[in-house]
A and B are shown apart, each in its own frame.
Chain A
Amino acid sequence: MTPLAPAASPGLAALHAAAAAAGLTVTSSASWPETDADGEVTALAGFIESNFSPLLAEVAGRALRGRDQPQASGTVTAIVIVTALGDVTSAARVATAVDAGERVFPLLFFQSVPNAVAGYLAARWHLTGPVVCVSGTGAGLDVAALLIDDADADEALVVRVDLAVTEGDVDRAAAILVTGPADRERP
């Protein structure tokens, strides 16, 4: 298993840059693909047809497991999902079924919005902070900083997913765990 060059994860670099711009400290991070062993992402029970939610869950789990320190009791963690296009794979599957007059799989209903996998993550990792999904990396880190400053959360898990939309591209995802610096203004 060989780590891939940083250039293989532009999303992670963008998350780190946006965290720095927002004055946040990154306490853990992860990406997909991270090594040459990252081929097919592990399926996520209850989520079908699209890699969006499984990828999100995978990189988020890696970031949460990679903490330097275990999560302190009572820590409130927000989940901020960043995605430029959302789960376009699921959306296209639904549109195809509707146009063909075919049955729409009920499971697609449950994953029709990015919040659903955030709910899975929150339950799995006991993350009780706000759940937010925005379209831009800078906006995502600004939201995280605001939630931490206003004590809606002690830390934020920010996850970015970019599904491949053109031939030859690969699905990518990245996650960082951020907190405010110790000297951050606390009015």
Chain B
Amino acid sequence: MTDGPGVASAPTARRGAGSAVLTGAAVLSAYGRGTQALLSGVLSGRPAFAPVQRFDVRARRVRFAATMPGSPELLTEVTAAVREACDDAGLSPSDRARSPLFLAIHGDPAIARAPEAGQPGLGPEAFTAAVARGCGLAEQPIRCYMSACVAASTAIADAAAIIARGHADRVVVAGGYLVDCDQFALFDAGRVLADDGQVRPFSAGRRGLLLGDGVGAVVIESGESARARRAPPLARMAGWGRTGDAYHPCLPQPEGHGMARAVTAALQRAGIEAEDLGYINAHGSGTGQSDPAETNALRLALGDAVTTVPVSSTKSMHGQALEASGVLELIVTLLAARKGMLPVNAGFLGADDRCRLNLVLGEPMAATAEFAMSLNAAFGGANTALVIGLP
């Protein structure tokens, strides 16, 4: 739509002086409930895609997604994940009652079929309040993010930034998307789903994305708060960046300038150099235009380190969880870094010259990743980069 904004005009990222740490995590994916199921799944290298059974897809061009069995209910699953993350963090009832919830969702799944008069009661804030109530979290302030595929990663960045500035001691961040007939129909109509039933990020012959179930929750708190509770951090929220492409309603800026600025800001806030990164879980949607743009962004932001930092897109296994992607993929990144095993970039058929990265291929890679990055991009040219550091 335009020639793009160029890489200039990126201000130097600032942050508050405080530290932010992750002290609890919980997740659901097509591999099942729990972090161990997810870690085992992505380290198996076997994608979770299968023909959709949850709803009728006979009229669709593509019939694959990564789903759990049955028809899990979003409010139930998000509430369970938030509760489990709080348990994982060892939060007492009084800790929970003082913790706000930032929730990333598309909206209440019921709203599209509700009579008009009932729609106001089915807004995302009502949904978020119900989750908070069900988990004993503070019912005010709550915040709902609906920024598509960067909703959860933006919520995580905001939570870390708020805590670093001392504006809050703790925030619980969650995201949820369960593959549904409406979004499936929209993505099918948009002809972005992979008709070969596999997601092949950065690969020659890639044919698009596939949707996947994802519900995740993390507890982010100040280092001081975690120490006071004697809660061992799972990782530090070391850095974060969010930017816009100023290019197009739904296409990424081809040269990756916006994403490059997000990566640079995250590295600046983390106080590290590109070569300090031990792993990048890329956005890697597996679509024709997004993967080369992201590759260009990484080449711009990482410089020579782009040839050595291991990269994979775990969407190649658990699928695209839309608003929940950021939290699902941060948890994957966290689990991989803590395990010292990096998941493969599945579905790879062969090199694409426009996507030259140091991809993890074939087998998971044993590696020490003291710092790891998770990237997300969305419609509207929104980009986010999150950096975690092992404690």
Q: A: which residues have CB within 8 A of B?
A: 46, 73-76, 78-79, 83-86, 88, 91-92, 94-95, 97-99, 101, 103-106, 108-120, 122-124, 126-136, 138-139, 143, 146-147, 149-152, 154, 165-167, 186-187
B182 within 8 A of A: yes
Cβ 8 A contact of A146, one of B162, B378, B381: B162
Whether A128 contacts B243 in the complex (CB less than 8 A), given A110-B249, A118-B382, comes out as yes
Check A114 against B112 for contact (C-beta < 8 Å). no
Bound form: Cα–Cα A165–B117 in Å: 7
In the assembled complex, how far is the CB of residue B336 from the closest CB belonging to chain A, in whole angstroms?
26
What is the total number of residues of chain B having a CB less than 8 Å from a CB of chain A? 71
B2 within 8 A of A: yes
Which of B137-145, B270-278, B355-363 lies on the face that meets chain A? B137-145
Within 241-269 of B, Cβ neighbours of A (below 8 Å) are at 241-250, 258, 261, 265
Residues on A with beta carbons closer than 8 Å to the beta carbon of B242: 130, 132, 147, 152
Bound form: Cα–Cα A68–B125 in Å: 35
Residues on A with beta carbons closer than 8 Å to the beta carbon of B241: 152
Residues on B with beta carbons closer than 8 Å to the beta carbon of A138: 141
Closest to B191 in A: A106
**20 extra interchain contacts, Cβ-Cβ under 8 A, other than A115-B148, A119-B382, A122-B245?**
A83-B146, A84-B120, A84-B123, A85-B119, A88-B111, A91-B107, A92-B113, A104-B186, A106-B191, A109-B189, A117-B249, A119-B245, A120-B249, A128-B9, A128-B243, A130-B244, A135-B128, A149-B14, A150-B14, A166-B117
Closest to A126 in B: B246
B147 within 8 A of A: yes
In the assembled complex, how far is the CB of residue A110 from the closest CB belonging to chain B, in whole angstroms?
5
Check B182 against A98 for contact (C-beta < 8 Å). yes
In the assembled complex, how far is the CB of residue A16 from the closest CB belonging to chain B, in whole angstroms?
20
Check B189 against A187 for contact (C-beta < 8 Å). no
Q: B: which residues have CB within 8 A of A?
A: 1-2, 5, 8-17, 59, 106-107, 111-113, 116-117, 119-120, 122-125, 128, 141, 143-148, 150-151, 154, 158, 161-162, 165, 181-183, 185-192, 241-250, 258, 261, 265, 378-382
Cβ 8 A contact of A119, one of B162, B190, B380: B380
Check B112 against A94 for contact (C-beta < 8 Å). yes
Residues on A with beta carbons closer than 8 Å to the beta carbon of B265: 152
Whether A128 contacts B249 in the complex (CB less than 8 A), given A113-B378, A116-B379, A135-B143, comes out as no
Check A91 against B244 for contact (C-beta < 8 Å). no
In the assembled complex, how far is the CB of residue A24 from the closest CB belonging to chain B, in whole angstroms?
15
Check B11 against A136 for contact (C-beta < 8 Å). no
**What 6 A-B pairs have minimum CB-CB distances, sorted nearest first?**
A115-B380, A109-B190, A119-B380, A95-B112, A135-B144, A131-B382
Residues on A with beta carbons closer than 8 Å to the beta carbon of B14: 149-151, 186-187
Residues on A with beta carbons closer than 8 Å to the beta carbon of B248: 119-120, 123
Can you spell out 18 A-B residue pairs with CB atoms less than 8 angstroms apart? A74-B9, A76-B9, A88-B119, A91-B112, A99-B113, A111-B249, A114-B147, A118-B244, A119-B380, A122-B246, A127-B244, A131-B150, A131-B378, A136-B143, A143-B158, A146-B165, A150-B16, A152-B242
